[in-house]
Structure 1
Amino acid sequence: MRGAYCPGVETLRYGTDPDQVVDLTFPPGATRPPLVVLLHGGFWRVAYDRVHLRVVADALTAEGFAVANVEYRRVGGGGGWPSTFTDVGDAVDAVEVALVDRADLGSVAYVGHSAGGHLALWAAARDRLPVGAPGRTGRAPLVRGVVALAPAADLAAVDRLGLSGGAVRELLGGGPRAVPERFASTDPAVLGSPGADTVVVHGLLDDIVPVEVARSYCARTGADLVELPGTDHFELVDPASTAWPVVLGALRRVVG
């Protein structure tokens, strides 16, 4: 089901909840452009939504990409385990079906920031989830590459550091000892590197998700890590920042 909330943007609904929506934008005149599936952060909490990445969606559209800016249920709004994960999986699947004739599904990238970086890495590894895990798919996702920006990529590390007042335990309903099976099916560092080309970009001045989280994930999975001196958490999603060309370069690399 599609509808428009403002000129140039289409809304794809993948469920009945108000948060089960995806904003779609397309570069004018383009025929089957490469596709970016965009996942916002906010430590998986309902206080933060896709609106703050609209400027990123606009910038990527101007660069020639079709963009699917995903909303999903979050902690405090019907999300958490398993709803956040099933929503992201359902959203990605719905985008693939809806855009089969409108975007190049051979050039798909998942791009996520902060908690959205975690979800992007998780979504790209859905075929590796344990049998019966929420969001699992029986086939490799149609994704050519992942660009994870300051991602909460290693959930055990994020939990150990107690980031954002125990956000991981809010998401999963407990810590690694209490709900080990949930960590096993949601932690990208446990699932391993996706089959897609994966680049992690992290600022060394990030005091929200420290770079050590990215280093831990990349050490465990072999993903490429780009560290940016003088860059904080939010500059990675600011198209006016000096970090933005690095983000674009990583994206162009993974889509080929």
Structure 2
Amino acid sequence: MSVIEMTTFTVDPENARAMLAARPGMVAAFREDRRGFLAARLVRLDARTWLDFVEWTDDAAWDESKAKGANRPAIAAFFATIGTLVGAERGVRYDDAEDGARRVRTVAYGPEPSQVGELYLPEGDAPFPVVAVVHGGYWTAMWDRRQITDVADDLVARGYAVWNVEYRRIGEPGGGWPGTFLDVAAAIDALDGMDPALDTGRVVLLGHSAGGHLATWAAHRGVLPPEAPGALPKITPIGLVELAGALDLKAADAAGFGKILADPGAEPPKDAPEPARPEAWAGVAAAVGDGIVPLLVDGHFAWTSPLELAGAGVPVLAVHGTADEAVPADWSRRYTEKVTAEGGRARYVEVEGGTHFDVVRPGHPVWAEVTGFIHEIVAGQA
């Protein structure tokens, strides 16, 4: 058992970034100065309201901490960003006798609600190689990272740390150009210093569909000019798995890729997940016009299209189904051909009869190709 302090407070949106920046210093000061402090977990309830779960060994430790207030500069700096205190309650934590849950936590890499990810840590001895996972969904706010948790569960069971990232998407503030690219870059770079259990010298990127595009783009950040969003990466991946990715943005633009979203009642691809935020569809439908690509890149194809950026770099596995209803397999095929022609290492696996979502199913036979590739790449860097 332990005592839980549940404090709800507001932060003006313009102060959210400063609050998150001050948070690590405040927690470090608590660890140094507050007897009985065990842990703190921050939850964002809405654009202005936050809930802080702070764990103490006993009631006396909590009382002593309240009496000290903002006695350290780092604590005062955090408190200064807070608008109003909504309330504070006390609870007692009881752990289940058989707690077999995996170690998973949500980590914010920015102040916006979509600038977060889930970090999964496996059992065993750290440091762990990392697979950074990027979900798809036409780069829009209707679909989120929950659609790819089966992949995260499978990979963490194989001994990998998994960073399942969210990012601002078309249909929410900051989504599209250039926010989506800035977020994916920031999310991957956030691995640097996130947790000592992570081996950031062994990071593999994996993405599906629109996330396949973003993961592939992220693998080529090192060749971007300094002025391009996402340039100058902190994390250099050792491999890339792209699954049914939209890798030729010029062809996608010419084909009106994503214009189906103008009709919320249109038939979705086979086995497509239900939208996590169907309320966002109306705004996307009104903006999508003849295709989603202009909203994503605003004409900056040279900085954003993997086919334009393709060259010798990290080893690549591209997997695509021949029966993909959403993204043409030819886009993955031509990308790997260009990487190979430029002297890089790329393997293209075409799944006969495979659909858009077959390639991201851990139970599908092609998944052995995916996990085998990741194992090979990670073992080669051990």
TM-score normalised by the chain length of structure 2: 0.61
What is the letter of the counterpart of residue 309 of structure 2?
L
Q: Shift in Å at residue 142 of structure 1? A: 2.0
Alignment of 1:119-138 (within 5 A): 119-137=214-232
Distance 1:248 1:138 in 2: 25
Q: Where has structure 1 moved over 3 Å in runs of 4 or more?
A: 1-7
Distance 2:230 2:141 in 1: 20
Q: 2:161 aligns with which of 45, 66, 69?
A: 66
Q: 2:194 aligns with which of 98, 101, 105?
A: 98
What is the letter of the counterpart of residue 167 of structure 2?
Y
Give the aligned partner of residue 125 of structure 2. Answer: 30
Give the aligned partner of residue 151 of structure 1. Answer: 245
Give the aligned partner of residue 117 of structure 1. Answer: 212
Q: Shift in Å at residue 24 of structure 1? A: 0.4
Cα–Cα, structure 1 residues 225 and 10, in superposed 2: closer, same or farther, change >3 Å? same
Cα–Cα, structure 1 residues 7 and 64, in superposed 2: closer, same or farther, change >3 Å? closer
Correspondence 1:167 to 2:261: no
Structure 2 unaligned residues grouped into runs of 5+: 1-23, 25-39, 44-100, 260-290, 341-345
Distance 1:38 1:194 in 2: 22
Cα–Cα, structure 1 residues 107 and 63, in superposed 2: closer, same or farther, change >3 Å? same
* RMSD (Å) for aligned C-alpha atoms: 1.9
TM-score normalised by the chain length of structure 1: 0.90
Distance 1:225 1:16 in 2: 38
Q: 1:202 aligns with which of 317, 320, 340?
A: 320
Give the aligned partner of residue 234 of structure 1. Answer: 357
Q: Which has the higher contact order (CA 8 A, sep 6+)?
A: 1
Q: Shift in Å at residue 95 of structure 1? A: 1.5
Cα–Cα, structure 1 residues 218 and 160, in superposed 2: closer, same or farther, change >3 Å? farther
**SS of structure 1 residue aligned to 2:193:** helix
Q: Shift in Å at residue 219 of structure 1? A: 2.4
Q: Shift in Å at residue 80 of structure 1? A: 0.2
Distance 2:216 2:377 in 1: 14
Rg bigger for which structure? 2
Q: 1:81 aligns with which of 177, 185, 207?
A: 177
CA deviations over 1:15-60 (Å, ceiling 9, x no partner): 1101000100011133111100000011100001000111110110
Tell me if the contact between 1:3 and 1:12 (Cα under 8 Å) persists in the aligned partners: no
What is the letter of the counterpart of residue 182 of structure 2?
T
Distance 1:43 1:197 in 2: 25
Distance 2:208 2:295 in 1: 19
Task: Tell me the matched-pair count.
Answer: 247
Cα–Cα, structure 1 residues 22 and 208, in superposed 2: closer, same or farther, change >3 Å? same
Distance 2:242 2:114 in 1: 22
Distance 2:305 2:41 in 1: 34
Q: 1:243 aligns with which of 358, 362, 366?
A: 366
